[in-house]
Amino acid sequence: MIVPTHVLILGGTTEARRLAAELAADPALRVTSSLAGRVAEPRLPAGEVRIGGFGGPSGLAAWLREQRVDALIDATHPFAGTMSHNAAVAAAEVHVPLLALRRPSWVAVAGDAWHPVGSLDEAAAALPALGERVFLTTGRQGLAAFAQLTGLFFLARSVDAPQDPMPPRTEVLLDRGPFTLDGERAVLREHRIDVLVTKDSGGAATAPKLTAARELGLPVVIVRRPPTPAGVQEAPDVAAALGWLARTLA
C-alpha cells in the first residue's frame, strides 16, 4: 500500500485554509490542519483537523514522528510567536522541512498617522496622549494590558466574548472578518472613535479599518509583529508555499 505524503499545517488563518483546500484535492497527500482551539466555532479547513495544543516543542516533535509528517507549514497568525518557536524547535529536532507562511506586513501610505509600538503594554502607554475613544482590534486575549486606563472608552472587537480584566469603560463588539470599508467607516463614526489600536496582522481581511482611519485623520497605534524564528524560510502567500512544498517533496 502506498503511504500518502503527510503535510501538517499549523493555524486556522485564511491562508492556512486556502492551502489546506489546495493540498486536500491531491490524493497523494494526507493533509492535517492543527487549530489552537481559541475560537469557539472555528472555520474548519479541508482535510483532517486536530484541535488543541501539542504540549510544547517536545510534544509537537513526538507528534511529527508518530504521524510520520513529511513537511510542516507554520501558517499561524503572525502574532502566534510561541507556536512558531515551538514549530522551529520541533522541526529541527525531527529533521522535518519547515516553512513559515506569513502574509506581508501592512505598509503605511500618504495620510497615515501610525504610531508603531513593540507590545500591547507600549500601546496602552501611548493612548492617553492620542485620544479618548479607542477602537481596540487586538483580540480578546490582550485586553488586560489596557485595564488600568479608566479614563478612556474602549470599543473592543473580537470573535468571541473577552473576559476580565478589561478596561471599566468597555463596549464589546462581536464580529468576524473580512470587514468592508463602508462597515469600518460606520463603526468609527457611530462610536465617535478618535484612535485605533491594532496589530500588524497584514492581509486584506482586516485592512479596511486602516483606510477608514486614514480618511478620518485618526491616529493608529500599531503593534509590530514578532520576527519569524531564525533560519526558518518564509513564503508570503499560498502560491509561494505550494511552490516550496513541490520542491521540498520532489
Which pLDDT tens digit goes with each residue over 38-77?
666 778 899 999 999 999 999 999 999 999 999 999 999 9
Domain match, 125 and 218 both: yes
| pLDDT score of 211 | 97
Domain that holds residue 48: 5-104+227-249
Grid cell 478589561 is found at: 166
| pLDDT score of 223 | 97
Domain match, 43 and 130 both: no
Domain match, 27 and 79 both: yes
- Region 125-133: what's the mean pLDDT? 97
- Region 90-106: what's the mean pLDDT? 97
In the three-class reduction of DSSP (H, G, I as helix; E, B as strand; rest coil), residue 84 is classed as: helix
CB 84 within 8 A of CB 185: no
Q: Which helix (H) or strand (E) holds 50?
A: strand 48-51
How many structural domains are present in the chain?
A: 2
* Number of helices (H), then strands (E), in the chain: 7, 12
| pLDDT score of 69 | 97
| pLDDT score of 1 | 55
Domain match, 85 and 120 both: no
| pLDDT score of 39 | 66
| pLDDT score of 40 | 62
- Region 166-185: what's the mean pLDDT? 94
Sheet of strand 195-199, all strands in order from the earlier edge strand to the far edge? 113-117, 219-223, 195-199, 133-137, 153-158, 170-174
Domain match, 64 and 152 both: no
Q: What is the CATH number of the domain that holds 145?
A: 3.40.50.720
Domain match, 57 and 70 both: yes
Domain match, 26 and 51 both: yes
Q: DSSP character for 157?
A: E
Domain match, 84 and 132 both: no
Domain match, 157 and 201 both: yes
Q: What does the CA dihedral 17, 21, 27, 30 come to, rounded to 10 degrees?
A: 0
Q: Is residue 3 predicted with pLDDT exceeding 80?
A: no
Domain match, 201 and 171 both: yes
CB 237 within 8 A of CB 94: no
State how beta strands 113-117 and 5-10 pair: unpaired
Specify the pTM: 0.88
In whole angstroms, how far apart are CA 242 and each of 18, 20, 24, 81, 237? 11, 10, 12, 23, 9
Domain match, 52 and 27 both: yes
Domain match, 121 and 205 both: yes
